[in-house]
Every structure is written in structure tokens, then in C-alpha cells.
Amino acid sequence: MRAHDETLMTHASTVLVETVPALRDRRSQVARHYRDVRSLTEALATPLSAEDQTVQSMPDASPTKWHRAHTTWFFETFVLVPYARGYRLFDEAFGFIFNSYYESIGPRHPRPSRGVLSRPGVEAVAAYRAYVDTAMEGLLDSADRDVVDLIVTGLHHEQQHQELLLTDIKHAFSSSPMFPRYAPEPVAPTVAMATPPEQWTVNGGIYEVGHRSGSDLEFSFDNERPAHPSLLRDFAISDRPVSNAEFVAFIEDEGYQRPELWLSEGWTTANAAHWEAPAYWYRDGRDWRVYTLHGLRSLRLDEPVCHVSFFEAAAYARWAGRRLPTEFEWEVVARQFGKPELGPKDVRAHPRPLRGGMRQDVWEWTASAYAPYPGYSAEPGALGEYNGKFMINQMVLRGRSCATPSGHERVTYRNFFPPQARWQFSGFRLADDR
Amino acid sequence: MRAHDETLMTHASTVLVETVPALRDRRSQVARHYRDVRSLTEALATPLSAEDQTVQSMPDASPTKWHRAHTTWFFETFVLVPYARGYRLFDEAFGFIFNSYYESIGPRHPRPSRGVLSRPGVEAVAAYRAYVDTAMEGLLDSADRDVVDLIVTGLHHEQQHQELLLTDIKHAFSSSPMFPRYAPEPVAPTVAMATPPEQWTVNGGIYEVGHRSGSDLEFSFDNERPAHPSLLRDFAISDRPVSNAEFVAFIEDEGYQRPELWLSEGWTTANAAHWEAPAYWYRDGRDWRVYTLHGLRSLRLDEPVCHVSFFEAAAYARWAGRRLPTEFEWEVVARQFGKPELGPKDVRAHPRPLRGGMRQDVWEWTASAYAPYPGYSAEPGALGEYNGKFMINQMVLRGRSCATPSGHERVTYRNFFPPQARWQFSGFRLADDR
Amino acid sequence: MRAHDETLMTHASTVLVETVPALRDRRSQVARHYRDVRSLTEALATPLSAEDQTVQSMPDASPTKWHRAHTTWFFETFVLVPYARGYRLFDEAFGFIFNSYYESIGPRHPRPSRGVLSRPGVEAVAAYRAYVDTAMEGLLDSADRDVVDLIVTGLHHEQQHQELLLTDIKHAFSSSPMFPRYAPEPVAPTVAMATPPEQWTVNGGIYEVGHRSGSDLEFSFDNERPAHPSLLRDFAISDRPVSNAEFVAFIEDEGYQRPELWLSEGWTTANAAHWEAPAYWYRDGRDWRVYTLHGLRSLRLDEPVCHVSFFEAAAYARWAGRRLPTEFEWEVVARQFGKPELGPKDVRAHPRPLRGGMRQDVWEWTASAYAPYPGYSAEPGALGEYNGKFMINQMVLRGRSCATPSGHERVTYRNFFPPQARWQFSGFRLADDR
Amino acid sequence: MRAHDETLMTHASTVLVETVPALRDRRSQVARHYRDVRSLTEALATPLSAEDQTVQSMPDASPTKWHRAHTTWFFETFVLVPYARGYRLFDEAFGFIFNSYYESIGPRHPRPSRGVLSRPGVEAVAAYRAYVDTAMEGLLDSADRDVVDLIVTGLHHEQQHQELLLTDIKHAFSSSPMFPRYAPEPVAPTVAMATPPEQWTVNGGIYEVGHRSGSDLEFSFDNERPAHPSLLRDFAISDRPVSNAEFVAFIEDEGYQRPELWLSEGWTTANAAHWEAPAYWYRDGRDWRVYTLHGLRSLRLDEPVCHVSFFEAAAYARWAGRRLPTEFEWEVVARQFGKPELGPKDVRAHPRPLRGGMRQDVWEWTASAYAPYPGYSAEPGALGEYNGKFMINQMVLRGRSCATPSGHERVTYRNFFPPQARWQFSGFRLADDR
């Protein structure tokens, strides 16, 4: 084994000295954060009619109004009920309807049937949000540090649902022969892509990965902790995700017809679902049209390929003679090369054309199964159900997507989905051993 | 074989002399009918929010706004496009979305996915209805007799969907833990029921059944024609449908647990779906609560049993040592005893307590499979797909229900559903051989 | 209504005077019958290996050894246990394994899992048959008339399973890429078919249909009784079933691609199952090859079309501008024209080329749903479950097939299968109104 | 990070000097191995009748005769066809029937339908085996080193199927109400178990894991390679798997009713399948009876718990406040403590009572998802499909089971199954961080 990279090990062993902000400052900071996040959710729902907000197009997706109410229910259930003296529930039935997967909180409405619930309607949901917001503002004036931390968790939870709100309505709209437009398309200049991408090479060694606890300056989910050393080999990784142009070459080389490129379960899945391209692609003679939240339009070759499953990413990698990076390879590179891009405040409805860098506009499938870190322990109580209980049959995605609210992403962030999922803004980049 | 009933045979051979109304009168009569029917549909949708009108709770049901638009699409497609000079489609995509089962008109949106369509919304549907109504009014001023007949068919088609609108929203609401109320419950006095019901006896013989064509005074669907002789044996039939009180006795005698009472497929169906009572019944200790369009409330024992499948009706009949009447037995009795009740103009959201008579507030399952009458011929073209193509694996129901618009029912009317269907207002009465 | 056929009415009202055979003669007659039927079952199984007799290729089919044992279990359960003094069960577990659908006899092994049972093996089944046969011979020496009748029922039950034994192994063999041959093909001369078939015309009137009870010279199942008058219209019917040549014309005219020809449920079924021809047909360029129990070979155009569902029969009839006959039309014609063909003693593994006549080598789908006759009453006890409980979602087939054991068929015989079933030797003939 | 264990690192860096045997010796060694393995397969099938060898009780299982033929097909396809001059296929159809998952070799008979194939029967399979054995013996006399290696791969492949042969017939037999006995039960003395088990502790550090290539003394599959360093933390691990006694305590503490103990997908799976105990357990009042290949008998508390899924193992671990070991933790401990037990030559049909040690009679679920090792490359051609294509949604099991043929197991061996699989002899042991 060769010597590991000294620079990075320094990073791993540095003790961060940080000034813990006074509780008062923290409260007002979080109160601002609370207002920002809550109003972004409402802004994202604004283009959607009452009918739009009601439909559910598949079991994995949820109606917009459910997202709006479920994120509110989170604050009511985990913050207001235990900590706000004299708080009265907005409506007792909501606990049943808007609970998602917290088995220990009681029975819940079955996920595939969320689209059957017409009541409460969007107006009642708006009233629910306003009622809870008022109570939360009152509570934030006097909350202690633990409660403030809990609220921050609730805000990150809501940011996750902001992204799902967009991917879910995209799926629903794509089921309509009217191909509704969620938002007008912004103008984006065409990008001239270097072909092939540049390769970054990384020396093997022991690197720290995961999120350092001890700092309350940055939030993290329990599945990112504890930070721990990881042993990597020498490897190389592309400086950008795979593009639509590159993926079209895979399709034209009959990538979807060659079983030797695919994982066995991927092949079965692709055939059963008649996949012949990424989700939302439609053949138009020899060209492709794509449904986006800006409507149906021609495929842009300079965008990152998106809405592919892990199975498709793995088949492409085998076709290209390379492999997907592990989540730790991704993280180490992102720490070294991946200056966090300071994006605009709001989310985008579609990925921009590719530039180089680690944090592009698509989530990136990695070769890593979603598993607990060494020493992982779930948070106690119902919140502990949040991440750990899904640690099976899911693959980790790293990075962010166009629909990820700014401030939500982190270099240690672990997104995860089953290998067949395609409705997220999911792409991938390639790596190989050196 | 004994002599048949002379009186009825007279009926069968009488030539009706009727005055055919002048075309002008007929046009204005149908125009009034058109306005009445179209406005009743809107009135039925009025208590429902945009969200309520969007949901679909099972493949057999459709969203309210789909019913409103589909019935409009019928007039646009079968009347305006072929007969209204210069008519322009309201929206080309609607032909795809609101076609139901008319295969010959082109591809159609898959039925189980109607609840995924948020667009067009209720406002667009209202605009569609207004647009078509305006064009129809213009057309009616000058329509010839064939077109007028076609419009009448469209109105009866819309009346069928008025009933479905109610049964479908009832199913959707019942899926909600909030058990929404569609309308307030009217006051109904308790009825003292004779136990057991009276029996009407009918002599065997040859009776005419089916709808006489040749008269354009009364509309009929093709499946009611031609009128033809039918040979019946002596039989007796109850003067009223089975009541909730009687059906509770069946449940308490373990009717749902005794396979010898059930058709084989009924037993399988009941077990797979965990039936232990009619649809919308919920155990409440030793009593029953029922979901109605007036909300969740206690079971009334003096109402007809409702929301039972053919399988349950047949099991009950076997348990009671009797049988279901055939559709012709039902029709013959209804002709003899069944004075058409002159009900109020609007439909009701729930059956009233039982009175004697043939046309109560529940459809009645018969022992007859839905099949063509001797000499039946389907109407030509797409309209011919309307009834004939469903003549398999369905049983005939006769009578009417609370949700049947007045003026829509007839003594020859043949309703039909698969034997496992329970979401209609379906009950039954008993008969036996004499 | 025109006068009915006098000759047939005479038949209907004649009181048959028949000499009831002495009980002793009847016993020895039935004992001979018993030996014949039981040994035919064994003869039919002889070409099949232990492995062949074990497999089950779909839920509706059963393994050969199951048929051999189930028919034996019938005698053990319904005859020996109640009537043979001191009889001891061969094996207690068999009651569970070889019960088919007699819910009242106790729990039963789920039908779709019969192919999972390797034990008891064919040798044990042979021993079971021999054990029961010995006991039955003893019993027959002294059985009273009721028990003798019960035994005859068991023999007809076994004959039904002889036919299923062949259709079930055909289905299983067809699933094998080796296309095994059950028996060598006999030589059959080519038949020159008149095109189109001759039409027999029948005057409308009241005809007796169903099986006369009162005679114990001929066995009948309860579903054929009681005999009763039926009112028919004038009609015409082909003198032979539809041929392969005719059905090929339907296929070539895109009969499987035209929804307007099909019942709605038929269209859905055909598309889901990718039907494009009768079962066991395989395209071979522009020709067809067919799997038969004699192996895979070219289609013979002069054979009756076979292994079609009711849905295909109905679509063909609509395409041909005609209809299927009702079961009573069929029966009336068979009584008038249908001299029972005195066939060979054994069953055949494949239909012979078409000749004219009512009792050809394929069962014939009729337009009649399987329903109880007026005045029908099921036999009491477990045997009563035999026929009545299937009277839903099934269509009646009349006639016989090549696989029907001689002596089992009758002009009043009612076979029945769901409209989608294709694995029986099922064809059809056409009729129309006159 | 603390210093790693020097001793083990020595192992990792030692260069093994081994004498490569002469090709001639290797040929005769492999010829002996060939005869041993092939005859063990036949010995395992001997207690099974032709019928037993034909049935398939679920899609994941295969009939015994399929295992016997598929392993033979492997030698025919991958060894004889390419390397035995003038070899003629035994039967061309076999390539279709007995191909399992090698997509690149051509179409294959669908896995869930293997139980439908009665032909070829057991006698034909025996003839096939003999035919191939003769050809293989001839080939082995002159095979070069690569071909000899290929044959060894085929033998290990056959050994895997020997284990499956037993687990598959166990599943099939368990579906029978007769609960057949595969073999008589040997006498095993009761073991007094220390409660709780002893804990072995291991210091963290860098350990080599995986199989060293370069040596042809020991076979390995591609998924065990390359050997590579792995970074472990301090941990402790039980010296034996969890016992039936311990698992009964979990059941009695309502482990199957508490969602907070389960992975989300595990909870869904357990509920849908109505799990309330390991597979093959049946409640008998307050006790348990278990189906084993020795028949149905009482549960022995001193045996390792067996036939549990990964989901149950993970729920138990959470209940016990511990976790499952990773596959590398398991391997490191097995290298240090796990003296390979020199067992008898033949496999056993049921686990023996627990003793301490790493290689007990049940496979052990680990916390590791089945993924490629760093630097993994699949073998080229069809054989390369063997392992790599399953590297998704599967968990690694380590060790061996009673049904693993001696000589097949290795400390680096990676078995893998989906987390819901229960029909293997699968148990688990617990670990935790130190």
C-alpha cells in the first residue's frame, strides 16, 4: 500500500475551532431560515391549480398538497405537540393522513392511495400551514437549543420535500396527453463540450469521509455520521457527468438491447417496463423529444443525461469500459476539487447545460449500496426511523440536482433511491482504477 | 303447460296507435330536456370542490370532472362534429382524454389512470360544457329527426353518468378517514316493515318483454330491443327488496362464513377481499355504522340492503331457501303491479326506507346474465359499441335506484354490472317457483 | 308466432313407458361399466411417465396422477365411507390432497399448487386405485339402487376427468420445447369441404329441452334437469362447425386486430395474452404449424377449428355477419338431425377432419350463459356442489369432443367453461335468425 | 487511527511460495475430484423418486433433475463443445432447457416454469450425465491447464447446486401435507449452551481480505478477488450464531409485531407474507414444530436458528441492541479464530446443535451488500455472467451450512441472496463496536 495523501489527512485530523453562536442569535437565524424555507414551498406550489396539487401518478410520488401538509405535520407532531405549551391540534384526522412512514407514531394512510384524498383541499392545507407557522413563530422566541436543532431538522426535511414536490408533479404532468408546462423555459446558451471529459486522478490512501459532528454550524442527517477514515485505491474520475450526447451514443449502439451490459435484475426491469431510453424521452423519427417542466421540447445534447436508473447507469459504465465511483471516491474528490457553486436562491425546474465540476444539476448514482457508517446510531424515537430503516436495496446518490434547494446540499450528503428509480433528476459520472 | 295469461298476451299483440309529434315540437321538447339534464349534472357537481372532482378511487370509477367532460365530448363527437356545419373542436386533446370505451373512435386514455389527469381542471371543463351547449342550442334549431334522436341518446347517456357521478364520489369519499359529507341528510320517518314481505304470484305463460320500437315517444337503448315473447313458469315474488334488518340476520347466521351458500367464484372473491358485510358497512361493537353520502351514521334497519354484489345476493337467496327472479319475471311483475312512482325531479343521495312496490331506491340484481335479446342488432358505428360489447360476464339489474334521474328509468331498462360489483346502489328481492 | 313443430311437441308430452331393469341386472351392468371406465383411465395414463403424470402447467389444469387419484377419492369418500361396512381409508392425507372443490368436505389443497405434490407418486396412486376397486367390487354385489346410482354418478365424473386428463397433458406438453408426442398420429383421409356449409332451418315454437328424469336408463347431471319447454324463434344453423380453413380467413382479414369485432373483455384478454391465433398454433412463415397430442405438425385445413375461446368464437361470428346458436337451438337441432354417431370405444387425441352433423369432434361454444334451468334444484350434500356453484361467468358448450369418452355424451349434456378458456377441444358453429 | 494488527499484516504481505504441481498430477487430481463431485450429486438424488425430482415449488427453486442436468450442461457447453474434438451434443434441445441465466448463450426456458417440464425424465437425465462423464474422462487425459481450471470451476458450480438441490427439495416437500422425510434423523446429543455466547474482540486496523490469486492450489470465484486491504474499527463478535432458544425469546417478546425493530421493506415483506417465525416453523400450542428433511418434529432449542431472512436477522440484532458483522469483520475473525473444521465427506440435511466457532452449520447473514471488490473484473465471456451480474439488491452470507459439500467452502467465500430469501440454511451471529 502506498502512502496516502498527506494534505487530505491533515484535513482529517484538524480540530476545527469554531465559535458557537449565542442561543439568541441562533434562534433569530433559524427563524429567518424557517420563513425562507416555508415560503419557498408555497412559491413552488403557486403555479399549480387545486387539481394539480391533488393527483398522485404512482405509488412513489405524492400530491403537492400532501407535501405541503406533511412537512407541516412534521413541525406539529415533533415540535409543537411536545414543546409548545397548550398547543391544540389543527385537526385530529391530519395525523393519520399526513404521517408518511413513521410507524411508531401510529397507523398511516397507505402511500399508494394519497391521490384518492380530495379532502383536506388546498385551502384547508394553506390554513393548516398558516396555523402551524404562527405557533412555530411563538415557540421560536423561547425555544431551547435542542428544540431549535429539531426545528432545523424539520426545515431540512421540508427541503427534501421541495425537491420531491417538483419531481412528483413532473411525473404526474408527464402522464397527461396535454404535457402541461410548469414554468416557462429560461434561455440557456449552448455549451461546447470537450469530448471526452477531463479526468481527475486521486492517490489512494486513508481519507476521512462523513460529517463531523461537534459543529452545530452545519446541519447533517444521521446517515452522514460519524465521520470516519476510509481506505481508497488510486482512481480517476471524470470532471463532469455523462451528457445526453454521450448517452445517445449508447442507445444507438443498442445499449438497451444487449443483456451482457446489464445487471440481471436491471435487464429484467428494463424489459418488463419496455425501457429504451431515459424516462421522459420520446422518439421523434431519428430525434428525441423530452418532457420537461418547461413542456415538451427537443433534446439538448449538452445537458447531463437525467432520469436514468442505477441499472442504466451501470449498463452505460460497462459499455464504456469504466465504472461508477463509490460514494467515498465522490466525496473525496468533491472535497478537493468541488468548490461549492454559489447558486441562486431558488431551485430550478430543469438541469442546465453541463459545465465541469462536482456539483452539477443532476444527482449522481454511485457504486455504493446505502448502508450505515461504522459506528452509526439512529436518532432515538420516531425521528430515528427517518433514515436507517431504508438501508436496504437502495443505492447512494451524491451531489445535488437542479431541484435541490440551495443551502440543503453538502459534500457529505447521502441521497438514496432503489436502483430502478428514474423519476428523480438522476444522472451519473464515470470513474476507473488507476 | 298451462294456458298463458290472456290479458298480457293482449298487451303483447296490441298495435299502439300514437300520434307522432311534429318535428318542431319535438325539437323544442328535446331542447328543454337538454337544458334540464345538462343543468342537473352541474347541480350534482356543485357540492364538490375542484379537488373532489379530480380524484379516482378505483379503476371502475371516474372523477367527477371526467363525467362532466365525457358527457360533453359525446355531444361534440357524435352530434356536433358530423352535423354542425363549421363546428370547431374546443380542444383537440380532449378527444383522447374523454373518450371512454369507443375503440373505433381512436386511442383513449387508460381508464385506471383518469385520476392522474389534473388538466383540464374544473374551470376548463365548465368552459367546455358552455362552449358545447351553445353549439348544441344552435344545432337544435334546425336538426332533423335523426339528429334529434341522437341528441336524446346523448341525454340518456349523460343521465347514466349522473348516477355514476354519485356512486363514484361516494366510493372516493369512503376512502378518506375524514368521511366527507356530500349533502345533509333529509329527515325520513321510520317505516314499520311487515315481516316477511308479501308475495305476488304470477301465472306462467307467454309474456311480451322488451321495448317496443316504432314509437318515438319513449327512448330506449338497443339492448332493450326487440320486444319479444318470453315463456315463464308460475312464480311468486316479494313485494319489496330485502331489508337491512333481514340482511343483518344473514350476517349473524354466519352467512359470510359458510361456503355452501356461495357460488364458487363468489366465495373466492369474498375471501380475497375480506368481505364480511355490504360495502360501506363498519362494525361498531355489536352494531353497524354505514358510510353514506350524508356522512357516517348508524345503520337504519328499515332501508333496503344496498351495495351488495350479485354474489352476496345469490348467497342470501340460497340461505333464505329462495332464488333471485329472472329479469323477465321482474319485468312482467313491474308491468302488472309496478305503477311508476312519480318521484321528485332530482336524484337522491341515499335510498329511502322501504315501501312496497317494484321501483324502489335500489337496483335489483336478477338471475339473468346480460345477453342480447333474440333478434338483437347493435346500432351501426361507434354508438353500436355502447351496449353489445359488454354482453359477457355481467348480470342484469332491473328497476332504478335513488341516484337514477327521474325520467331515465323504464320498466324495460336493463342495467348490468359484473357479479362482484358493489359500488352501485344495488340490492335485490327474492322469488320462487310455484 | 307461428305454429311450433308438432313432432317435437309429441316427444315432449309422450310418457315413456320403460321397463325398469331388475336390480340384479343393473348391478352387473354397472359393474361392467365400472371396470370399463376405470380401465380406460389407466389406459389413457399408460403412455405417460411418472414425471409426465406429476406436472401442472397452469392453475386450471391438474396432473395426470391427480386425476387418477381424485376420481378414486370420489368413490372412497361418497360411496365406500358411507356405505361399505368396515371400510378403512387407504390413507388419511389423501382426503386433503385429492379433494377438488367440495368445500363442505373440509379444507383442500389449493388448486394452483397441485403440481408441487410429488407424493403420493404414481405407484402409490396405482395402489390406491387397486385398493378402492377391490372394495367397490365387493360393495357392488350387494348395493341397493341408490348406491348404484351414486356409483354411476362417480363413473360419469371419472369420464369427465378422462377428457381433462388429455387436455391437461396437452397443455403441459405444449409448454415443453421438446413438444413430446403422446400418441402416434392415425392416418386420416383429406376431406373435401363444401364451402359454405349447408344450413338447416328450424321453425320457431315451443320445444322441450333438458333431460327427462323418471328414466334410470340414461344418466344425467343435475344441471340438465328438469326438462322444460323453451320458446324459440325461426332460425338457421350450419350443418358443421367452422373449419380451420375458414378460421384462417378470419385471421388473414385481421380479425385479431379489429376491436369492433370483439366483446370488450375479449379484446382486453386477447391483447393481454398476445393472442393472434387459436391456442397451439405457431406461425411458420406464411403457414401454420400446430401442436397436437401427435406432436408438432402442419395445420390441416379440413379439421374443425379448435382451442378457441368463446371470445374468439364471438368475434368470428360477428366478422361472418352471423351469431352463435343458443344452447336450446343446438339441442333442438341435435334431437332432430343429430343421429348419435356410434363411435369407437376409446377417445381420440385429436379431432378428425370435418364431416356434417351435430356431434363432431369439438365442443361447440353457444351463446348461452351457464345458468340453472327453471325449477333446478341442486342435489343435497357435497354432491350438490358439483354443478350449481359454477353457474356464473361461464358459457355453455354443447356436443362432444374427440376426447369425450363414448357413452358419456348426451344431446342434453351441458359442458361449461369461462369465456377465455382455450385448452379444451373447443370450436363452434354459426347460426342466424330467419 | 490506532496501529493495525501486525500479525495479520504479515499474513497480508507474505509471499506464498508454493510448488505448482505438474500438469499430469493436476489432471489426475481433478479427475478424482470430478468423480467425487459427480457421484455425490447422484447420491443426493437417490432418495428421491422420479416425481420428487420433477416438481418446482417456487420460482427461486429448481427441480432435482434440472440441477442434475444443468450442472451437466455446464460441462457440455463450456468444456466439451469448445475443447473436445468431435464432440456431439447429447440432445440439441437441452441447451435451451438447462441453460440457467447465461443470457449470452441464447434464449432460455423461463425459470418459474421449470416444474412444467416432464421431459427429459430422470432416466434421460441419467443417460445425459453418463454420456457427458464419459466424454469428460476422455478429455481430462489430455486437457491443458486452462481447460483443467475450467473443469474445476464446473465442479464448484456443481457443488453449489448440490446445496440448492437440498434446499429446493426441502421447500417442495414442505408444501406437501404429507411432510415427506428425505432421510432418517441421526442421533445428536443435546448441547448445553453458554448463555450469552462468548465475545471475541478484534483490534481495528488494515487487514487483507479476499482471495489471493496466483495460487492454483485453491479455487476461488471471481467475486472473491482481488485480495485487498480493508480498514476495520475495533469490534467484538459472538463466538457462535444465534440459537433457536434465543430466537424464541425474540418471538415471545413480540419481535414480529414491532415495526420499530424492522427495516421498512422488511416490515412490509413480513406482513405481506404473514411471517411470525422462521420458515418451516409451525405453532403447536405454546411450542413449535419444525419441518426438516428428517420430517416434522419438535424444535430443538440448541440448534442455530435457521431459515431466517436478512430482514429477520436485522430485526433481531436491533432488538438485541447489537448489529450484524460486516463480511470483512467475519472474514478477519474466521482467519484468526476459525480453524476449518474437518467435517465428514458428505453434506448433512440439517444443522447440528451449536458448538462455538466460525464455521457452523448455517450460512450467516452479514451487514454487507453484495458488491464488487475494488479492482474486480468479471471473467470474459458467458462465465463472466456468473457472479457480477447479481451484484445488486443482495446481501452477503459467509461461512457454510450443513448442506455445503466439504471442500467447497473457504474463508473468503461469498454467498449472496436477496434480503427476503429464507429457503437456504441461513442464520446469523451478532457483533458490535468496541
Task: Please report the pLDDT score of residue C100 as a whole number.
Answer: 74
The helix-helix angle for B6-13 and B327-337 (nearest 10°) equals 90
Cβ-based contacts of C317 with chain B (< 8 Å):
none
> Binning pLDDT at 50, 70 and 90, where does residue D378 land?
confident
Q: How many CB atoms lie within 10 A of CB D215?
A: 12
Enter the DSSP assignment of B256. G
pLDDT over 80 (residue B345): no
In the chain, the amino acid numbered C174 is S
pLDDT over 90 (residue C6): no
Q: Are C4 and C203 in contact (CB under 8 A)?
A: yes
Q: What is the mean pLDDT of chain B?
A: 89
Separation in Å, CA of B163 to nearest CA in chain C? 22
pLDDT over 60 (residue A17): no
Chains that touch B (3 or more CB pairs under 8 A): A, C
Q: Are D183 and D349 in contact (CB under 8 A)?
A: yes
- Cα–Cα distances in Å, from D186 out to A134, D189, D295, D306, D353? 73, 10, 12, 18, 12
Cβ-based contacts of C372 with chain B (< 8 Å):
367
pLDDT 10s digits, C236-279: 999 999 999 999 999 999 999 999 999 999 999 999 999 999 99
Mean pLDDT calculated for residue range C111-123: 90
d(CA B117, CA B127): 17
pLDDT over 50 (residue D17): no
> Binning pLDDT at 50, 70 and 90, where does residue D13 land?
very low
Nearest to D421 by CA among D403, D395, D391: D395
Interface contact flag, C375 B433, Cβ < 8 Å: yes
Chains that touch D (3 or more CB pairs under 8 A): A, C
The helix-helix angle for D327-337 and D6-13 (nearest 10°) equals 90
Q: Are B238 and B194 in contact (CB under 8 A)?
A: no
Q: Are D395 and D368 in contact (CB under 8 A)?
A: yes
Supply the Cα-derived Rg of chain B in whole angstroms: 22
Which letter, b or e, does each residue of B55-79 get, where b requires 16 or more Cβ atoms within 10 Å of its Cβ? bbbeebbbbbbbbbbbbbbbbbbbb
Cβ-based contacts of A65 with chain B (< 8 Å):
51
**DSSP string of C133-159?**
HHHHHHHHTT--HHHHHHHHHHHHHHH
What is the four-CA torsion angle of A314, A316, A318, A323, rounded to 10 degrees? -60
For residue D287, give the H/E element and its range: strand D287-292
Interface contact flag, A391 D263, Cβ < 8 Å: yes
Instruction: Give the closest of A54, A96, A120 to B54, CB-based.
Output: A54
Interface contact flag, B52 A172, Cβ < 8 Å: no
Count of all residues that appear for chain B in the document: 434
- Answer with the residue of higher pLDDT: D343 or D106: D106
Interface contact flag, A263 D392, Cβ < 8 Å: yes
Enter the DSSP assignment of C273. T
Mean pLDDT calculated for residue range B146-153: 94
Residues of chain A contacting B, Cβ within 8 Å: 48-57, 65, 93, 96-97, 109, 113, 115-122, 172-173, 175-178, 180
CB pairs under 8 A between A and B: 108
Q: What residue in A sits closest to B55 (Cα-Cα)?
A: A116
Interface contact flag, D177 C113, Cβ < 8 Å: no
pLDDT over 90 (residue A184): yes
The grid coordinates listed for B274 are 375480506
Q: Are C239 and C200 in contact (CB under 8 A)?
A: yes
pLDDT over 70 (residue A5): no
Interface contact flag, D263 A392, Cβ < 8 Å: yes
pLDDT 10s digits, A154-167: 999 999 999 999 99
Residue D323 pairs in a beta bridge with: D431
Task: Please report the pLDDT score of residue B338 as a whole number.
Answer: 62
Q: Are C329 and C431 in contact (CB under 8 A)?
A: yes
Task: Please report the pLDDT score of residue B385 as a whole number.
Answer: 62
Helices (H), A184-284: 244-252, 264-272
> Binning pLDDT at 50, 70 and 90, where does residue C218 land?
confident
Q: Do chains D and A touch (3 or more CB pairs under 8 A)?
A: yes
pLDDT 10s digits, B160-174: 999 999 999 999 999
CA–chain centroid gap for D209, Å, is 19
- Cα–Cα distances in Å, from C188 out to B416, C191, C296? 48, 9, 16
Interface contact flag, B52 A121, Cβ < 8 Å: yes
Interface contact flag, A121 B50, Cβ < 8 Å: yes
Task: Please report the pLDDT score of residue C111 as a whole number.
Answer: 79
For residue D416, give the H/E element and its range: strand D415-417
The grid coordinates listed for C77 are 369418500
Task: Please report the pLDDT score of residue A12 as a whole number.
Answer: 34
Q: What is the mean pLDDT of chain D?
A: 89
Enter the DSSP assignment of C326. P
pLDDT over 70 (residue A115): yes
Q: What is the mean pLDDT of chain A?
A: 89
pLDDT over 70 (residue D46): yes
Interface contact flag, A50 B50, Cβ < 8 Å: yes
pLDDT over 50 (residue D125): yes
For residue D196, is the peptide bond before it cis, meaning its omega torsion is within 30 degrees of 0?
yes
Task: Give Cβ neighbours of residue C166 (< 8 Å, ≥ 6 apart).
Answer: C44, C182, C293, C347, C349, C403
Mean pLDDT calculated for residue range B317-331: 97
Q: What is the mean pLDDT of chain C?
A: 89
- Answer with the residue of higher pLDDT: D176 or D292: D292
Max Cα distance, chain D (Å)? 66
Interface contact flag, B172 A53, Cβ < 8 Å: no
How large a percentage of chain A has pLDDT more than 70?
89
Separation in Å, CA of B319 to nearest CA in chain C? 14
d(CA D151, CA D154): 5
Q: Are A51 and B51 in contact (CB under 8 A)?
A: yes
pTM score of the predicted model: 0.92
d(CA C317, CA C266): 13
pLDDT 10s digits, D62-107: 999 999 999 999 999 999 999 999 999 999 989 888 987 666 666 6
For residue D369, give the H/E element and its range: strand D363-369
Task: Write the ipTM.
Answer: 0.92
Strand order from edge to edge, sheet including C431-433: C199-202, C235-238, C431-433
Residues of chain A contacting D, Cβ within 8 Å: 1, 101, 103-104, 206, 228-231, 233, 259-260, 262-267, 310-311, 314, 367-369, 371-372, 374-375, 385, 389-393, 395, 419, 433
For residue B405, is the peptide bond before it cis, meaning its omega torsion is within 30 degrees of 0?
no
Separation in Å, CA of D286 to nearest CA in chain A? 28
Mean pLDDT calculated for residue range B356-380: 91
For residue B205, give the H/E element and its range: strand B205-209
Q: Are B259 and B321 in contact (CB under 8 A)?
A: no
Q: Do chains C and D touch (3 or more CB pairs under 8 A)?
A: yes
Enter the DSSP assignment of B114. G
pLDDT 10s digits, C24-48: 999 999 999 999 999 999 999 999 9
Enter the DSSP assignment of C49. -
Interface contact flag, A115 B115, Cβ < 8 Å: yes
pLDDT 10s digits, A381-415: 667 666 789 999 999 999 999 999 988 999 999 99
Cβ-based contacts of D432 with chain A (< 8 Å):
none
Task: Give Cβ neighbours of residue A357 (< 8 Å, ≥ 6 apart).
Answer: A239, A240, A337, A338, A339, A341
| Among A161-165, B352-356, C300-304, the least confident range | B352-356
Task: Please report the pLDDT score of residue C177 as a whole number.
Answer: 86
Chains that touch A (3 or more CB pairs under 8 A): B, D
d(CA A300, CA A289): 9
Cβ-based contacts of C385 with chain B (< 8 Å):
260
DSSP tally for chain B: helices H, then strands E: 11, 12
Instruction: Give the closest of B1, B263, B267 to C391, CB-based.
Output: B263
pLDDT over 70 (residue B9): no
Q: How many CB atoms lie within 10 A of CB C33?
A: 16
Enter the DSSP assignment of D408. T
Task: Please report the pLDDT score of residue C214 as a whole number.
Answer: 61
Q: What residue in B sits closest to C310 (Cα-Cα)?
A: B392
Q: How many CB atoms lie within 10 A of CB D271?
A: 13
Strands A363-369 and A426-427, by their bridges, are parallel
Interface contact flag, B371 C371, Cβ < 8 Å: no
Q: What residue in C sits closest to D109 (Cα-Cα)?
A: C177
Cβ-based contacts of D48 with chain C (< 8 Å):
118
Q: What residue in A sits closest to B98 (Cα-Cα)?
A: A177
d(CA B192, CA B354): 9
Separation in Å, CA of D260 to nearest CA in chain A? 6
Q: How many CB atoms lie within 10 A of CB C421?
A: 21
Cβ-based contacts of B180 with chain A (< 8 Å):
118-119
Q: Is C91 exposed, middle or buried (0-12, 13-18, 19+ CB in 10 A)?
A: middle
Mean pLDDT calculated for residue range B22-51: 96
Task: Please report the pLDDT score of residue D50 as a whole number.
Answer: 98
Residue D238 pairs in a beta bridge with: D199
Q: Are D370 and D346 in contact (CB under 8 A)?
A: no
Q: Is the Cα torsion angle C158, C160, C163, C164 positive or negative in sign?
A: negative
Cβ-based contacts of B120 with chain A (< 8 Å):
178
In the chain, the amino acid numbered C21 is P
Which segments within B221-318 are labelled E, that is strand?
A: 228-232, 235-238, 281-284, 287-292, 295-298
Residue for grid cell 358439483: C386
